[in-house]
Structure 1
Amino acid sequence: MTTSSRCSSTMFKISLVTLSVAAASSAYSAGFSLGDQSATASGSALSTAAASSEDISFSYWNPALFLNAKKNTFYISGAYIIPKMDVTNIEATDANNPTGNTAVDGSTTNTDSVDNTIVPSLYYAMPLSDDTVAGISINAPFGLSGDYGDDWAGRFHATETALQDIALSFSLAHRVNDWFSAGASVQVHKAEVTLKSQVGNTSSALGAGALEGSGDIEADDIGYGYSLGVLFTPVKGTRIGVGYRSKIDFDFEGDVKYNNVDNLSSANLVNADVSDSLTFPDVLTISLEQALTPKLKLGLSVIRTGWSSMDEGLNIDFDSDQPNSVLTFGFEDQWMYSAGLTYDYSKKLTLRTGIARDNSPATDEYRSARTPDGDRTWYSVGGTYHFNDASSATFAYTYVDIEEVSVDRDGTGEDSARGSYSADYSSSASVISLAYNMSF
């Protein structure tokens, strides 16, 4: 096997196995978490996430809030995320050219690399007594979707990425007395990842696609977690909630498949099984809901996501002669801060607004084409229309402004087999959320 093809194989394996190649496609929340688990909560930028008295959808952040149900209650929510990511000033060099690094051919701008996504949520509550409620929920806590395409200059770093985590939760909430309630849940998570990249000779000196194929990896696993929550009501009109969602351990297993690689003359570019272990982060939420007047409520929340569980990143094992592929994420634990207002305009109509600051776990040292993530600011509005005492519809709109970031990789260390890469990223997102709530 030639040195060039061996380097191409290593470069492909490194680039193929990252979960964050298009992290901005999960533009709603930092990293690749998905913040819209409730249209009601989104209307005030999650400002009362762990303390709200409004409906059962807040049980995502605090399972004790299933006690918001007085009857059998069904809540369904969906968020349509419309992300935008412009990648400009792309420069990449080829680490595999034996005569010296050469610029990689391909587009030096990319404006269509992230996909619109629907994030669904479903909740059902069944009171067992006046003080105890059982609940079931289905959520997508983490996810992203993006496609750089096969023709851009960074195609040997990544082309397409999809990640989906679906969680089924079983909860129980109990009111101990007038001022204290508690809840807990157990969760089953099914996570799937699909990652694609071009592989071959990246040098434009040989002409576009002269020795170029493609490959993709698909892997999945089932993981388990739990959540705990408490709610304090020290005085009438004041609610303080604390909720915790645990880390989720995954042992991903799947395979890598190559296409059009016969001319690469590389014995290592063979279809193979792959495996890796990865821990999705835990989430701690602390919230206050404070009545300012009989009609107006203030919400304040802080949400800590333990992204450092993914600090070391990935160590992919290939069930073949291919060596392990290692990628460092360098993620740091981060906080989100939010504030919002809820106003009962009338018996039929409730209005909301909020603002939030969501800090990215990505650091300048490790930011790359795989993790072009920046801090976010949310601007949210929303409302609920009550058809009657048993049913209501909710709407929310959030604009997410993401700070502009730059990637500047010098081609050494982990990038020694991929060459250098630099680009500027400008991202934002609009999120439209709808929900229907019914009790019976």
Structure 2
Amino acid sequence: MFKKILIANRGEIAVRIIRACREMGIQTVAVYSEADRDAIHTDLADEAVCIGSPKPKDSYLNEKNIISAAVLTGAEAIHPGFGFLSENSKFAEMCKECNIVFIGPDAEVIDKMGNKSNARKIMANAGVPIIRGSEGVVKDEIDGLKIADDIGYPVMIKASAGGGGRGIRIVRNREDFINEFRTAKSEAKIAFGDDDMYIEKFIENPRHVEFQILADNYGNTVYLGERDCSIQRRNQKILEEAPCPIMTEELRRNMGNAAVRAARAVNYKNAGTIEFLLDKDFNFYFMEMNTRIQVEHPITEMVTGIDLVKEQIKIASGEKLEISQDDIKIQGHAIECRINAEDPARGFMPSPGTIELVHMPGGLGVRLDGAIYQGYKIPPNYDSMLAKLIVYGKTRNEAINRMRRALGEFIVEGVKTNIEFHYNILNNDKFLSSDIDTGFINKEFGL
């Protein structure tokens, strides 16, 4: 087992990883930008190293500075968390060359699954259902128009190197295709430095259901149930729940087995997530694979009792999985609300500033993964997420009632937050009856 791990991230995920390491008796090294000098993860870790200016490219995306910090402090492994360098194959390879363990899959696997068009081919060959679409990268808008005409509208234009809802356009008719293709391609170039695009049939009103998998270095792969991530705004997840309210045992088994096939097809190791679209007829289709820990991983932990971050660390250190598929039981219901510093009344504009007062919710079945405190200055340089509020109940109804209660106790003054917006979702009749899909926010709130 590792004696010291460097966490190449910030905010609540850095705190989450430090907590797991502390429980395992592992020392931690925090890295921080000049804007995060007073961030809580720097105090919780055993050591902290400044790696650059507030700009992400100079700090949390600066591979050389992070590797240097690991070498300087004697860290044997680096946990990348999510975002930043977590799915950067070049960084994973750099770690390997410096004899530092990257807590995640191999660089080759990140490359294979990071390119969405290539991933589709691999999944099709592995017998995982895929949505009808282009064979590989689309050359240009004229080639794309021919493919879209053949597939039939509506279609979705997507960036091959995409993620986070960027580089995506839904096109419902032929007349709009070329303009939307050019716009998506330009957005992808800016966001990812890669403007390769692919096209697939757009599934109307699907649910976004993802399966958590764990895979060790000895061929053992298991799935830990699913998360329903259908509550999204502009392809960005807002609220997640586990299990999916409409899931059956047979469907879970079929989707879970498909997720395992997907992982084995690329010799996947560590924690990962296979994302599917689930249509109204219970047909499911591979969407993408996330080769890292997910923001919403706590709800899987709540319904399985398995600490996913600890499992990541154990796998990376060479340990075998101690759990088999038969050991995994889904019990109860969990919901996660992403609490962001943003103003819903102004188009969810980010709201950086100083937290003047904060009161954290608590009580039975309530978990808060966060990195905020009274007097904390939220920097404008990074994602606006302040915390993740997670609740557990024996039933979905109990979990909803508990989340309402917890949101009512969560007080943040000094900046705008989306707490009230979450409360509105939890009181929506369609949500209460689980009549939801990825268009829920737009249809119910016009956003």
> Under TM normalisation by the shorter chain, which class is it?
under 0.3
**Could you state the TM-score of these two structures normalised by the residue count of structure 2?**
0.21
Q: Which has the higher contact order (CA 8 A, sep 6+)?
A: 1
Higher alpha-carbon Rg: 1
